[in-house]
Amino acid sequence: SLDATDRPWAANAGVMFGRLAAERGVVVVNDPDGLAQAQSKLYLQTFPEAVRPATLISRSIVEIRAFIDKNAKGCIVKPLQGSGGKNVFHIATPADSNLNQIFEAASGDGYLIAQVYIPEAKAGDVRLFLMNGLPLMRDGNYAAFRRVPAKGDVRSNIHAAGTARKVKVTDTMLRIAEMVRPKLVSDGMFLVGLDIAGDKLLEINVFTPGGLSRLADMYKTDFATHVIVALEEKLTVRRAYGKTMPNSRLATL
């Protein structure tokens, strides 16, 4: 879905309606209170420093230039709000002649995120799905794929002409998943997509972690049915416990 880009108000409305539904005993995943915390890329900054790239969030081009100057590998600059790979730029040096234009295009009237460039991202990032806080796995296959950017593009997003390929899930990826698990569970995040490059987590997708249909074709494995069964189990628990079981707890049970 491109709602976050085309209808930026939709996330707020979804959280509001999700809360109303949860108050009436409907099982809502991901938990709307958790989603309210995750409505911008600031959410990533609430996770351990060990798993995320060094980051600056600012509206000052002077501060962003200084941050880029301190990082020899360059930086990725993108809007604080947004998704789908829109207005994402790789800045090699603070002397980049287009920096002012990039700053204007990416920031609009809001804040920018400057993130240290991870060289491994050149080959694309890995989307790893977590369900109930754990890597989603079925028939010996992890629900994960590599998102390879189009030639000359820094964005791996499928909507930005990136392509999906099979990937081997490494111990490093699993360690990152384990590191973020406690907070995701605490926030009631039932289904999540982690975007990983090298040993760093680039983004956490909690609103529209797409790609399960591609995985079905790629691995000949029906991950979606596994997700539906997990949801049905939550409904069984809801019927047994009623509203005495908080939605945030039930979401990742």
Are both 37 and 67 inside the same structural domain?
Answer: no
What pLDDT is recorded for position 1? 47
Domain limits for position 125? 3-52+119-250
Predicted confidence (pLDDT) per residue in 94-149, tens digit: 777 578 888 888 777 688 999 999 999 988 999 999 999 999 999 999 999 999 98
Token pair recorded at residue 63:
């501060």
- 85 Ramachandran zone, left/alpha/beta (phi>0; psi -120 to 50): left
Are both 100 and 67 inside the same structural domain?
Answer: yes
What pLDDT is recorded for position 204? 96
Predicted confidence (pLDDT) per residue in 149-208, tens digit: 876 555 555 454 478 999 999 999 999 999 999 999 999 999 999 999 999 999 999 998
Predicted confidence (pLDDT) per residue in 12-68, tens digit: 888 999 999 999 999 999 999 999 999 888 899 999 999 999 999 999 988 988 999
- Calculate mean pLDDT across residues 73-90: 81
Domain count, the chain: 2
Are both 32 and 131 inside the same structural domain?
Answer: yes
Query: Which strands form 112-116's sheet, in the order they lie side by side?
Result: 55-58, 112-116, 75-79, 89-91
Task: Name which of 60-64, 90-94, 214-218 the model is least confident about.
Answer: 90-94
Are both 130 and 79 inside the same structural domain?
Answer: no
| Phi, psi values for residue 18, rounded to 5° | -60, -40
- Calculate mean pLDDT across residues 227-236: 98
Are both 96 and 187 inside the same structural domain?
Answer: no
